[in-house]
Structure formats: structure tokens, C-alpha cells
């Protein structure tokens, strides 16, 4: 909170300074600014990568062979192809543009691989081990829908469908519970570690006092690995095709995520406190569509 306030103030001061510096004849902003910083757009250009994704806290630069993830805050780290390389150092945000130290380009460059395949590689068959965790169960019903159905039932039904689709694609799936029982949260996370799973996906459905709140959210822990974040984005992107409203990827330290030693995401598939979402989530045909989307996102991540 403090840091954010500080950044906002710095950004505001810089924005004012920038306005003050601009002569009326200036039509394009200078790329290189004071303190040897460059915009992330310029950084991407220097590295020959495109900006593939970004939000308030991170930016992803990518080409066919490389993924560079940069957390755009002053103590943020950067990753090249999933490996943490270093800290970002100076970061300034001016009028929506993020400026980072120009030395970042030189730090990142040696870690970039060259692609030996054409720019658009053939899709490889997905392989891997995925743990699907139907949330709640047994004595714990989870949220109770406006329609009366229990969250644990919805979670379990969708989990079974996701598992079936993934298995048909040759992916090994482990479910954290069989039937209406309640394994402890740590035990669920432990299954992923024991199986050395490529991904752990916990399935839930939301509830809120406001009955108009609706849509799905994909969560990762606040300390989530680059892999977890990539999986969350792949799943959220696929789920957006179902017609459910997308609340995007968010960070929350859910126990099943923070105790997880493998890449892990938690999907809130919709709001059971919202009539439209609840009716969809308990409808078998919609569950098929939803499960297909979640499975597609998981397969994207595995490829």
C-alpha cells in the first residue's frame, strides 16, 4: 500500500515534469528519459520481442522461442523463459507508460534463446500430470447457491468433466477427492508435490452478498511462480469463450495455493449467489462447455 502510494506520487511528479518539459512543437515523446530509463515498448523493440500481455504489475514480452516476464515495480524481478534472472531496479510509470532501467536489455539478452523452428511451431501433443481439486466436499458444502445447490457438487461435476477431457488427450489426471469426502487442504496440495504435477487446478464457485456480482475469476498466490501466472492467464483466456463474465486473473493467498509447491491456480467458476451464474453452473450442458474451456486452457499451458 505504502509503495503503491509512493509510486503514484512519483508518477504524478514525473507526469507534471514531463508536461513542463514538452515544447509545443514536440509531437512524439522521447523514448529515452532521464536516469537512463527506457519504456518497456522500447525494451521490447531492442530485444526483438512483442508485448504479449500486461497489467498493473507485470508485462510479458514474447517471441516464438522466448518469454520474458517483468514485474513492473521497483523491487520486482524478471524471468527469462521461466528462470528468475534478477531484479528490475528503477521503475517509473509516467502517464501509463512504464520506464525501466535501460541496462535491463543487456541483462536479458544473453538469456534469450534462438528459435530453430518456424515462427509458428506445430502444436505438440500435450503431455503432463495435472491435479484437479474439486473444492470442499463431505462436511463442507462450500457456498450454497440461490437455487439451493451446494458448491461442492458443482465443483465435483465440473472436475470430473475436465478430467475426462484431459485424459482423452493423453494427459494424466489425479483428482484430490473421489466422491463426497473432505481431504485437508494441505493434503490436496501435497498430492501435487508427490506426483510432481505440472499443474494443480482447484475448482470452486463464488458467493457474494451482492446478488448481481457474477463472472469467473482465476486466482494465483501473491508469490506465484511465472508458471502459475501463465497457467492462470491461459485458463482465463479460454474461459472467456464460455459467455461467463471474466473478472480476470487475481492474486490471493488461498491456503491450497500458498502451501502448494507446484504451479497452482484456483478457479472461481462463477457466482452461486447470482441467479444467472448459478443456473449455468448447475446445468450439465453448460458444465460441458465450461469443462472444455478449462481443459483447453490447461492444454495451452502444457504445450
Contacts with Zn ion by CB under 5 A lie at 135, 142, 204
Roughly how many angstroms between the first and final C-alpha of the chain, as a whole number? 37
The DSSP-derived string for 146-169 is TTS-BHHHHHHHHHHHHHHHHHHT
Q: Which is nearer to Zn ion, 128 or 142 (CB)?
A: 142
252 contacts 226 by C-beta, under 8 angstroms: no
Q: Which is nearer to Zn ion, 72 or 155 (CB)?
A: 155
Q: Which residue is nearest to Zn ion (CB)?
A: 204
We find the least distance from the C-beta atom of residue 267 to Zn ion, in angstroms, to be 10
Q: Which is nearer to Zn ion, 191 or 205 (CB)?
A: 205
We find the least distance from the C-beta atom of residue 252 to Zn ion, in angstroms, to be 12
DSSP H or E segment with residue 102: none
C-alpha–C-alpha distance, residues 122 and 34, integer Å: 44
What b/e sequence results for 272-298 when a residue is b if at least 16 CB atoms lie within 10 Å of its CB, and e otherwise?
bbbeebbebbbeeebbebbbbbbbbbb
Q: Which is nearer to Zn ion, 204 or 262 (CB)?
A: 204
We find the least distance from the C-beta atom of residue 204 to Zn ion, in angstroms, to be 3
271 contacts 206 by C-beta, under 8 angstroms: yes
Q: Which is nearer to Zn ion, 60 or 154 (CB)?
A: 154
Q: Grid coordinates standing for 137?
A: 466436499
- Pairing mode, strands 97-101 and 91-94: antiparallel
We find the least distance from the C-beta atom of residue 276 to Zn ion, in angstroms, to be 19
We find the least distance from the C-beta atom of residue 140 to Zn ion, in angstroms, to be 9
We find the least distance from the C-beta atom of residue 155 to Zn ion, in angstroms, to be 7
Q: Which is nearer to Zn ion, 263 or 270 (CB)?
A: 270
What b/e sequence results for 215-241 when a residue is b if at least 16 CB atoms lie within 10 Å of its CB, and e otherwise?
bbbbbbbeebbbbbbbbbbbbbbbbbe
Amino acid at each position: 500500500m505504502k509503495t503503491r502510494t509512493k509510486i503514484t506520487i512519483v508518477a504524478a511528479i514525473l507526469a507534471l515534469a514531463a508536461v513542463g518539459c514538452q515544447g509545443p512543437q514536440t509531437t512524439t515523446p522521447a523514448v529515452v528519459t532521464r536516469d537512463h530509463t527506457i519504456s518497456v515498448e522500447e525494451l521490447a523493440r531492442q530485444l526483438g520481442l512483442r508485448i504479449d500481455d500486461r497489467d498493473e504489475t507485470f508485462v510479458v514480452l514474447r517471441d516464438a522461442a522466448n518469454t520474458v516476464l517483468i514485474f513492473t515495480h521497483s523491487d520486482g524481478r524478471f524471468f527469462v523463459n521461466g528462470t528468475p534472472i534478477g531484479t528490475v531496479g528503477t521503475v517509473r510509470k509516467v502517464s501509463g507508460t512504464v520506464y525501466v532501467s535501460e541496462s535491463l536489455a543487456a541483462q536479458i539478452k544473453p538469456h534469450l534463446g534462438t528459435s530453430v523452428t518456424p515462427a509458428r511451431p506445430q502444436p505438440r501433443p500435450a503431455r503432463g500430470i495435472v491435479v484437479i481439486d474439486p473444492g470442499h466436499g463431505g462436511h463442507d458444502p462450500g457456498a450454497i447457491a440461490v437455487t439451493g445447490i451446494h458448491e461442492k457438487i458443482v465443483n465435483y461435476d465440473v472436475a470430473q468433466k475436465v478430467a475426462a477431457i484431459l485424459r482423452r488427450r493423453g494427459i494424466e489426471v489425479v483428482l484430490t477427492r473421489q466422491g463426497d469426502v473432505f481431504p485437508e487442504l494441505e493434503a490436496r496440495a501435497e498430492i501435487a508435490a508427490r506426483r510432481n504435477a505440472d499443474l494443480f487446478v482447484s475448482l470452486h464457485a463464488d458467493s457474494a452478498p451482492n446478488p448481481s456480482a457474477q463472472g469467473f475469476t482465476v486466482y494465483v498466490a501473491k508469490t506465484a511462480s511465472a508458471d502459475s501466472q501463465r497457467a492462470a492467464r491461459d485458463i482465463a483466456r479460454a474461459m472467456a469463450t464460455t459467455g461467463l463474465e471474466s473478472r480476470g486473473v487475481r492474486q490471493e493467498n488461498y491456503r491450497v495455493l500458498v502451501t502448494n509447491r507446484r504451479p497452482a491456480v484456483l478457479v472461481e467458476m462463477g457466482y452461486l449467489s447470482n441467479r444467472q451464474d448459478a443456473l449455468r453452473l448447475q446445468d450439465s450442458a453448460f458444465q460441458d462447455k465450461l469443462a472444455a474451456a478449462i481443459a483447453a486452457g490447461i492444454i495451452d499451458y502444457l504445450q
